[in-house]
Amino acid sequence: MQCIDADSHIVPRDWMKHMEESYTKQLPTYCFDNRGVLSQESNLENDPNPTSINSLPLVSHNSHSGRYDIGKRKEDLPMLGIDLQILNPEEHAMRFSYLVESEMARQMAYSYNRTVAEIVKHNKDKFAATLLLPLQDMEWSLGEIHWGILNGFNSIYIDTCWPVVEDPASYPMADIPEICRLFEYCQHREILVVAHAQSHHRFIKSRADTKKYRLKDLYPSQHKVSLISLVTSGLLDQYPQSRILICEGGMEFIKESLEYLIKIGITDPMRYFRENFYFTIETENTALLIECIDLFGADRFLFATDYPHDDPGGAGRFEDRSNMDQLGLDPSHLQLILSDNARRLFKL
């Protein structure tokens, strides 16, 4: 049975090659060790991303050369049990976020997208990719989607939220400026919106005082806040054919989001899960995964490894495929999750 990995991350070593030189000089100096892994010697003196003081170190989740080397990644595919992989940006190592100055962000997205397009062009049987967008400039981003469509991109990659410098948390997805224009454009052209947490750890529950006073569970995740905001804002009623794949949020927030929408009186909230939302799976909690599949349907979930990360979401990347076989799912449901859903959504 074919297997498609719907959420992996890459930052090609040469991703900056299409940027103007004056802008590459404003980026960190990247150094690689003899394994081809980003080194602690990398110099962050130049950093366009003001979220860095609240973010993970540059080399976090970083012990695998497949993060940067497409050749090594291709070698790993058989061990992962994967036939085709969706390439998502590694925005943390790139120092990309919506807080980067607009022209710099445009340069970064422009160069990254063209570098990845070249990789996919020469490896169409192994990879497809999402389009990175600097949503601080919506007009340019819509133009970039048009370029992406002409060059084989059928999906865009956006943050699950809108980061704010002076705030320890980020605003919900519905607060992304001009998001109506984005959803209208994507609905009309049948473009999949892949929502992924780019500004990791920028939410209230990560603050030191919430841990100190054991308050963490009182605050919802940014995935839950953003999912609910898309419903309660009316955005999905305005653009009912929108398709949003929410990645790497765990499984708990999905059921909790439905329960909250019921609690606040949203009429038939399940319809948004039937018509708009899709989710990548995590095999770490098999009982919850099976419960979610039974509740929402196998057509809502896509297999993903979070390759090549070493964090909790990606720690089991080499076992995820075999773990799926051990769930005892109906073969037709297993095929939907492993390949058919991704093939349909990404137009593979």
Residue 110 belongs to what H/E stretch? Answer: helix 102-121
Q: CA distances (Å), 192 to each of 52, 108, 203, 340, in order?
A: 29, 22, 25, 15
User: How buried is residue 264: exposed, middle or buried, by Cβ count under 10 Å (0-12/13-18/19+)?
Assistant: exposed
Contact 173, 161 (CB under 8 A): yes
pLDDT at res. 318? 87
pLDDT at res. 181? 98
pLDDT at res. 12? 94
Cα–Cα dist 16/234, whole Å: 38
Cα–Cα dist 132/90, whole Å: 10
Q: CA distances (Å), 139 to each of 49, 80, 185, 193, in order?
A: 21, 39, 11, 17
Q: pLDDT 10s per residue in the chain (348 long)?
A: 999 999 999 999 999 999 999 999 999 888 888 888 888 777 777 888 876 544 555 656 667 889 999 999 999 999 999 999 999 998 888 999 999 999 999 999 999 999 999 999 999 999 999 999 999 999 999 999 999 999 999 999 999 999 888 777 788 999 999 999 999 999 999 999 999 988 666 677 777 777 788 887 888 888 999 999 999 999 999 999 999 999 988 899 999 999 999 999 999 999 999 999 999 998 878 899 999 999 999 999 999 999 998 766 666 788 999 999 999 999 999 999 999 999 999 999
Q: What is the DSSP letter of 219?
A: S
Phi first, then psi: what are they for 97, rounded to 5°?
-160, 175
pLDDT at res. 49? 85
Residue 88 belongs to what H/E stretch? Answer: strand 84-89
Crossing angle of helices 252-263 and 286-296, rounded to 10°: 50
pLDDT at res. 28? 87
Crossing angle of helices 222-232 and 252-263, rounded to 10°: 40
pLDDT at res. 262? 98
pLDDT at res. 29? 86
Contact 64, 77 (CB under 8 A): no
pLDDT at res. 217? 80
Q: Does the domain made of 4-345 have the CATH classification 3.20.20.140?
A: yes
Cα–Cα dist 348/341, whole Å: 10
Residue 345 belongs to what H/E stretch? Answer: helix 341-345
Domain ranges of the chain: 4-345
**N-terminal to C-terminal alpha carbon distance within the chain:** 16
pLDDT at res. 329? 94
